[in-house]
Structure 1
Amino acid sequence: MAQVHHHSSLIDHKFCSTLSTVFTVWKKSLLLDGKGFTVFNSLGNLVFRVDNYASNAKNEVLLMDDAGHLLLTLRRKRWSVGKRWEAFRGDPMETEKPIFSLTRSLRISNKNIANVFANGSRKTKLCDYQIKGSCKPSCTIFSAFGDIIAQVKRKEAKSDIMLGNDVLSLVVEGGVDQTFIMGLLIMFNQIS
């Protein structure tokens, strides 16, 4: 396996494993009428949940841990050209800068390509990460060096039966912040 390069400012060691980790992502909210995701580990334990308590889920989404503690606030960038989302740790203040941002760059047939910039900065033309795919039902996240750091695809049941488009399998490579990957997956889903 290729060595994974990443920005240490994005790492939250609580959600970082030295080994590849497999998650089941169910594109359903724990809230009755909510739009979100519920994420389980390979043992079936809840790890992440994604919800929006506001009436308009199109502009802000919250990533929480299993206990409901806010990890990331994901917001659509207003007045931006193209589709751009920004991620903030916890509950951001008005003056706080994003820790990363995602912008859709191309759409080729049914495939989207999005560029990710660490620290929310787009001062250079080179992105820090790139996502290719559709997220409906699959996509791959690459480092700037072309290494695969995470992959999403439709989940297969043990009997090789494909589940619905709302049940995905997410593999996050070792050494990569799983919170960061979930933030990317959510934002990519919003722009796809």
Structure 2
Amino acid sequence: MSSRIHPSGAGRGGRARRAAPPPAHRPEAYTVWKRSSMGFQGTDGFSVYDGAGRLVFRVDNYSRRRKLCAGELLLMDGQGTPLLSLRPQLLSLHDRWNCYTAMEEGIDKKKKQSPMSQQQRFTMSKCSALQSSDEAEVYMTTTAGAAASGHGCQHLPAAPSFRIEGSFSRRSCKIRRSDGKEAARISRKNAGVASRPVTNLGDDVFSLVVRPGVDAATIMAIVVVMDRICHRPYTPMVCSSQ
């Protein structure tokens, strides 16, 4: 199953093939697998692989709870280093989520930083309060003042920095920048080898293409939030060992 999800990482003898990073002018293609990298059956989360089959992002989450009890979701790199913290904003009709820089290692977990003490990266919400709508807007936070010391004044732009168009639930949508240009695209992923016909891997595995110059971690954080605000029931994928 793993070789079908990211086949480019499998070479002779099962060894991953090393691939040079794509040129700066080319888009970066990722394979997103809605499965915790911890590998336990029935767990929720994300594992994101690059074109060489290397794990580059992960979200490990063990239960999908209601918004009031959801807590934060942590986007990490492939080695488990925290990158971005995603938190739902309570009492929001448009399912607003806020993204912050992740807490630095070494901080006492009992003395958890408040959102006010962390740098906010963006805020994101659905364009419509209707449950059937998949479209959303992202407002990137800008900091004015003493940005170097971390005490600058943060504010949001008047217009959205990114807009999600299409149907994320059907794995067919685009993330556009404020100028209308495409920043990233989500589509269904097919898999096949020479001896087998091409098959659809289902909604739990899909492709994410990020355009040059766009921060991939920010785009992946947007994808994680989209997965939460679309209100689609989560059905864990069970992999057979046979």
In the superposition, the TM-score normalised over structure 1's length comes to 0.81
Structure 1 runs of 4+ aligned residues shifted over 4 Å read 53-57, 107-111, 120-123
Rounded to whole Å, the distance in 1 between the matches of 2:220 and 2:61 is 15
2:179 to 145, 152, 168: 145
**Which blocks of at least 5 consecutive residues in structure 1 are unaligned?**
1-15
2:113 to 83, 89, 93: 93
* 2:62 pairs with 1:66: no
* 2:44 pairs with 1:35: yes
Q: Is the 8 A contact 2:43 2:61 kept in 1?
A: yes
Name the structure 2 match of 1:83. 95
Letter matched to residue 41 of structure 1: D
In the superposition, the TM-score normalised over structure 2's length comes to 0.66
RMSD across aligned positions (CA): 2.5
Letter matched to residue 146 of structure 1: G
Letter matched to residue 116 of structure 1: V
Higher relative contact order (CA 8 A, sep 6+): 1
* 2:143 pairs with 1:134: no
Higher-Rg structure is 2
- Aligned CA distance change for structure 1 residues 50 and 17 (closer, same or farther; 3 Å): farther
Q: Is the 8 A contact 1:111 1:133 kept in 2?
A: no
Q: Is the 8 A contact 2:44 2:62 kept in 1?
A: no
Letter matched to residue 227 of structure 2: N
How far 1:80 moved relative to its partner?
2.6
Letter matched to residue 102 of structure 1: M
How far 1:53 moved relative to its partner?
6.3
Name the structure 2 match of 1:165. 203
Q: Is the 8 A contact 2:95 2:125 kept in 1?
A: yes
How far 1:135 moved relative to its partner?
1.9
* Greater displacement, 106-115 / 94-103: 106-115
**Which blocks of at least 5 consecutive residues in structure 2 are unaligned?**
1-21, 104-111, 143-154, 231-242
User: Equivalent pairs: percent with the same residue?
Assistant: 33
Q: Is the 8 A contact 1:141 1:150 kept in 2?
A: yes
Rounded to whole Å, the distance in 2 between the matches of 1:166 and 1:54 is 16
Deviations 1:139-168 (A, max 9, x none): 210001110110011101144321111010
| Equivalenced residues, count | 176
